[in-house]
Amino acid sequence: MKKAQKNDIIIELQDVWRTYIMGDAKVHALRGINLKVHKGEFVAIMGPSGSGKSTAMNMVGCLDIPTKGKVLLDGQNISSLHESDLAQIRGRKIGFIFQKFNLINTLSAKENIMLPMIFQGMPENERHDRAENLLKLVDLQDRADHRPNELSGGQQQRVAIARSLAVEPEVILADEPTGNLDSKTGASVMDFLKKLHNEKGTTIIMVTHDEHVARNAQRIEMLKDGEIIATKHK
């Protein structure tokens, strides 16, 4: 099998528009965005509130489809797929880290991490083994049986990171991953994401409004009014 090259494109947006109908008005959240993300890259999508970065994240993460244009994931055009097909692709290829953690309060840390594996039909013994290894990876093996409300914000975010790695996705999509954390805990989470990128070669796409956080990426795509207005390389 051909070994993946770092310059292989894993996600590409081609002239992507996303238009919402608000009463009699049309709101163009994205206006013809073109973006390529290569395997092994760490990319930040940055912009102020209302710039379209959340909509761009939805496109990159296969959470939504464009009004016009194409979204390619590993060369496959997902722009016209049904939601059930999109969900399958998301489950296999993309791990999500959300600002609000999105952990299930009735489940333990370990059970939250195992959830994506259940959806992918992974055998039970493999789910347990992998969840335990992921808890060790984020240094939370002593919190396996704790529920989210028994964990600090930083610990919850580390559980969310472990969950995002559950099915060994090709891409980690982080939406404001430090937004609900204090600066010290946020720096710790960013250090872990950089370690993941540097040591494992994981492709990371991070959405943020914070320039200080964005500087952790290799490349920053600046959004304003639904358009990419600048690209900054480290």
Q: What is the spatial distance between Cα 46 and Cα 65, in angstroms, rounded to a whole number?
A: 20
How confident is the model at residue 107, as a pLDDT? 97
CA-to-CA dists, residue 3 to 39, 85, 137, angstroms: 12, 27, 26
The tokens describing 50, both together, are 């209302």
The answer on pLDDT for 222 being more than 70 is yes
Percent of the chain topping pLDDT 70: 97
Q: How far apart are CA 234 and CA 172, in angstroms?
A: 20
Q: What is the mean pLDDT of residues 136-160?
A: 94
Domain boundaries, the chain: 40-65+89-233
CA separation for the pair 207, 223 (Å, rounded): 11
pLDDT at 84: 85
40-65+89-233 classified as CATH 3.40.50.300: yes
Rounded to an integer, the average pLDDT of 73-95 is 86
4 vs 75: CA distance, rounded Å: 13
pLDDT in tens, 168-206: 898 999 998 888 888 888 888 898 899 889 988 899 999
Q: In percent, how much of the chain has pLDDT > 90? A: 66
Whether the full predicted model's pTM is greater than 0.85, yes or no, is: yes
158 pLDDT higher than 60: yes
Angle value at C-alpha 20, between 22 and 56, nearest 5 degrees: 140
- Please report, for residues 22, 38, 70, 157, the alpha-carbon distance to residue 99 in angstroms, rounded to integers and kept in the order given: 27, 24, 27, 8
